[in-house]
Structure 1
């Protein structure tokens, strides 16, 4: 485990602090006070470590059923950014994580405490030249399609009901990647738009999906499942698709079960079932699941119950995670994890879909989708490409 003081991105140029889900009025005026970084090789429980670290720095989240207890002040501690990788979430769920990590410089947990102050600004003058090379995929379309067939076979055997498959790609770059990641964070529909940086790494997020939100003693998750082009015909097709609706409802039921573990008995409800929302040039189906927080629920138990998110794993969750580990050629890195903002009485974490990461040499992206018995392999490959196209175009500066 690494507990370190505040620092910037020592091997990448600095930028204005812009963590996802931070209060809008505070962005651009935050300065890092303290940081915790952890990797699976360090051992221990990342959920407990996060809760303990935050409490040690004046941000107790031991009982989320209580209100925050104070108004937000413009001086002193503002809150903290929290990032948890998909691999760390799988560890919390008791699933194997054997795939090679394509971004080993990234931590599996990062908690960054911010005070109000004057954050560093980019140096004056034009940005340095930016070049992004061609993307190299971690699997071919044929391999992706074969993995879809393998999931369908597992469904036929009764091993799983649904499994989410995710592909990875990387591209070498020259120049400063942070403006590109900041462009990504500004894409339309990015409810969790923002950038988190560390020593030699950065994550840019344009996620529209709420993994878990806790406000005033209430839990909310907004699973997204079902995608079509953002056209009139695409919207009608999504609404009429029995396959997409069945896939979506499976995940809503999974999320209801996850919340029931940490909610007051009988309080779990579903609102806005299969509502159609827009992200960039895609329609997506979203539902809202709500519940009242169980007395004494802390951040650690919240993370254990909700990570990794059901919409990027499948059902049953543990069986789906086992299959994901066997079929995906590389790890999920910064994608399909949690990233957002925490402060006493409030947690707001997005699911890191529509997310990219930078190390000192390459940019990395991920995309995929849920596989059911009715899935068509070619259509699943095309859907993943449609999801990643706006991300790659934005990163390239188009």
Structure 2
């Protein structure tokens, strides 16, 4: 566990020495837009599972120690002014979420240098001005998948068999790919935030790693004690026919409602009795060249709800695990060949009275040698293995094209 201030530079260590890359402006997902160019890092906490302890409690304690008390989220939001810390970036990996849920996490991590928890506290500083800088040569190699399409399809069939036995009702399966690169990965990761529908677009960096997010999905948002989660489940091509097919698909609607019920139960654990409601059930929204179905679940926080209990109740997100959540996580650990790394976790902005964390779908990460992407989908009894493989490929295609610097079809419209 590392405390204290850490550089926002990435160092690339290799046989020819150390390359130090320049600092970049803070661009954390969900950070206040007016503050992004005027933030300076005050303190940083980084935690790996091997460090032991409770990451949710560590995050809450660390924030309180640096002027951001989040032990009671029902208090009104204090006025935003420039004499205290502005807020903090909070990142929690999928493995850390499974750890909080008491589920196994034995699959090897493809990017082990990435922390499982990062909290970065920011102060206001002088407004940054960035002049033109010479472009860094950028090269991205071919992608190597963590499993073949056949292995992915076999995993889908294994989930269907488990559903037939009554072990689970639904399990989300995620695949991973990695590609070598040269140059500074952060401009490539920053491009992800411009993808259409990237509600949680932005970048978080550390020493030797960086995470870029283009997520459209709200894991949890809290404002003055009001809780919101927006689960996404159901995908089709963004065409008129695709929209009609998504709206009329009994399989997609059943899968979606199952996860909405799971999210209702998650919020009920931390909400005042009788306050959980569902708004906008199965609303179709667009992300790049895909239609996706989204619902909004709301509740009023129970008295005294703090950040630690909020994270324990909501992480990892139900839309990327399955139902029942613990049984799905156990099956995920058995079937997926590598860990989920920076994907399927939480990333966003926290400050007293307001929390806004995106679920890290449509997310990529860099270590000192490789870029990593992840994509998958929910498996039900009615799932077709080959269609699920194709859906995962459709979700990751805009991410990979953007990282490579190519235009997607959506960009060209």
| Runs of 4 or more consecutive aligned structure 1 residues displaced over 3 Å after TM superposition | 118-124
Structure 2 residue corresponding to 1:186, chosen from 170, 194, 201: 194
**Does the 8 Å CA contact 2:67/2:84 hold for their aligned counterparts?**
no
Unaligned runs of 5+ in 2: 12-20, 407-413
How far apart are the structure 1 equivalents of 2:306 and 2:255? 31
State the match for 2:16 in structure 1: none
Matches for 1:98-247 after TM superposition, within 5 Å: 98-118=106-126, 124-247=132-255
Matched, 1:279 2:287: yes
How far apart are the structure 2 equivalents of 1:312 and 1:248? 12
For residue 13 of structure 1, report the CA deviation from its aligned partner: 3.9
Question: Deviations 1:108-148 (Å, cap 9, x if unpaired)?
Answer: 00000000113766674321111100000000000000000
SS at match of 1:27: helix
State the match for 1:264 in structure 2: 272
State the match for 2:37 in structure 1: 28
Q: How many residues are treated as equivalent by the alignment?
A: 397
How far apart are the structure 1 equivalents of 2:250 and 2:98? 30
**Does the 8 Å CA contact 1:14/1:121 hold for their aligned counterparts?**
no
SS at match of 2:75: coil
Closer, same or farther in 2 for the Cα pair 1:176/1:65, shift >3 Å?
Answer: same
RMSD: 1.1
**Does the 8 Å CA contact 2:192/2:402 hold for their aligned counterparts?**
yes
**Does the 8 Å CA contact 1:15/1:121 hold for their aligned counterparts?**
no
For residue 71 of structure 1, report the CA deviation from its aligned partner: 1.1
**TM-score normalised over the length of structure 2:** 0.95
Q: Which moved more, 1:238-247 or 1:112-121?
A: 112-121
Matches for 1:56-135 after TM superposition, within 5 Å: 56-68=65-77, 70-118=78-126, 124-135=132-143
**Does the 8 Å CA contact 1:38/1:110 hold for their aligned counterparts?**
yes
**Does the 8 Å CA contact 1:31/1:119 hold for their aligned counterparts?**
no
Q: Which moved more, 1:122-131 or 1:143-152?
A: 122-131
**Does the 8 Å CA contact 1:17/1:120 hold for their aligned counterparts?**
no
**Does the 8 Å CA contact 1:163/1:320 hold for their aligned counterparts?**
yes
Question: Deviations 1:185-231 (Å, cap 9, x if unpaired)?
Answer: 22111111010000000000000000000002100000000001111
How far apart are the structure 1 equivalents of 2:359 and 2:103? 19
State the match for 1:38 in structure 2: 47
State the match for 1:6 in structure 2: 6
**TM-score normalised over the length of structure 1:** 0.98
Closer, same or farther in 2 for the Cα pair 1:119/1:331, shift >3 Å?
Answer: farther
Unaligned runs of 5+ in 1: none
